[in-house]
């Protein structure tokens, strides 16, 4: 099983690395860093913070888009080009096949993130700044964990529906996770109780703002260990839950949607 898992993971990693999305994503990181660098020409502390806000926001959108597109596309392509049937005839169980696909996706997300961080750090050095410190690196690490959750979400919906519907469902659920804390704060005692309960449940269990640490990127000190572990475990649990559900669904079906 481990050998089959490794083969599927490696094949997925190679295919995604050669995908046409890879180079536009790298180009986006260069563009984001270049635009963010313009803020430094004004040289005020507020604009230094603005540079980080803009840079991390741009990376967040770019990485999330890549995770969603790759997560859905790799499942849909495998069904259409027949590679899924070939690998399942090895034999490889559908659950192992899906986990391997996600691990390959995760490896590519880590590769993209390392390129993003390298480009950002090069921009900082070119502007005369030092190497990033712990809070900045933590902000990037949590952002990447959020991408991994988004990728798992895309794989989950791709195991349920065809590509267009899977992309729509992934984007909608991703947006819901980003705005759920804001909606939760907007509820008052005048809000009907059923709505408050639904919003509170969504906010508690599906809050993607947990991975947004842009407000702590320029803090002089690292957040507490419990703060970091809470968010890290939250992300890992979400990934495990989404991929487990997708594997169960995939194992109980004759075929994945095209």
The model's pLDDT over 147-200, given as tens digits with 9 standing for 90+, comes to 999 999 999 999 888 889 999 999 999 999 999 888 878 777 777 878 778 888
Residue 89 resides in a domain: yes
Q: Which domain holds residue 78?
A: 2-251
For the chain, helix, strand, coil in percent to 5 are: 80, 0, 20
**Domains: count for the chain:** 1
User: pLDDT at position 251, please?
Assistant: 72
- Rounded CA-CA distance 138/121 in Å is 14
User: pLDDT at position 12, please?
Assistant: 85
Residue 257 resides in a domain: no
pLDDT bin (cut points 50, 70, 90) of residue 47 is low
User: pLDDT at position 174, please?
Assistant: 94
pTM of structure:
0.89
Mean pLDDT over 230-236 rounds to: 95
- Note the pLDDT tens digit of each residue in 13-43: 888 888 777 778 778 777 887 777 776 555 5
pLDDT bin (cut points 50, 70, 90) of residue 125 is confident
Q: Is the pLDDT of residue 62 over 60?
A: yes
- Rounded CA-CA distance 200/83 in Å is 42
Residue 256 resides in a domain: no
Residue 99 resides in a domain: yes
Residue 258 resides in a domain: no
Coil, helix or strand for 127?
Answer: coil
Any alpha helices (H) in 94-209, and if so which ranges?
94-126, 134-158, 163-186, 193-205
Mean pLDDT over 61-84 rounds to: 85
């Amino acid at each position: 099983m481990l050998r089959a898992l490794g083969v599927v993971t490696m094949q997925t990693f190679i295919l995604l690395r050669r995908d046409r999305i890879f180079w536009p994503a790298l180009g986006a990181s260069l563009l984001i860093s270049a635009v963010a660098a313009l803020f430094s020409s004004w040289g005020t502390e507020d604009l230094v913070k603005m540079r980080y806000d803009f840079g991390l926001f741009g990376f967040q959108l770019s990485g999330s888009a890549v995770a969603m597109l790759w997560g859905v596309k790799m499942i849909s392509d495998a069904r259409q080009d027949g590679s899924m049937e070939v690998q399942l005839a090895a034999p490889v169980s559908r659950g192992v096949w899906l986990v391997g696909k996600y691990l390959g996706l995760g490896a590519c997300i880590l590769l993209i993130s390392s390129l993003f961080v390298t480009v950002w750090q090069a921009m900082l050095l070119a502007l005369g700044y030092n190497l990033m410190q712990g809070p900045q690196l933590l902000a990037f690490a949590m952002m990447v964990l959020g991408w991994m959750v988004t990728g798992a979400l895309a794989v989950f919906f791709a195991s349920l529906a065809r590509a267009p519907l899977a992309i729509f469902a992934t984007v909608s659920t991703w947006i819901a996770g980003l705005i759920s804390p804001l909606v939760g704060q907007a509820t008052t005692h005048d809000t009907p109780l059923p709505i408050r309960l639904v919003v509170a449940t969504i906010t508690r269990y599906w809050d993607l703002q947990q991975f947004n640490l842009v407000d702590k990127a320029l803090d002089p000190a690292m957040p507490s260990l419990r703060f970091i572990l809470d968010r890290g475990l939250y992300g890992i649990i979400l990934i495990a839950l989404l991929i487990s559900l997708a594997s169960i669904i995939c194992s109980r079906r004759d075929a994945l949607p095209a």
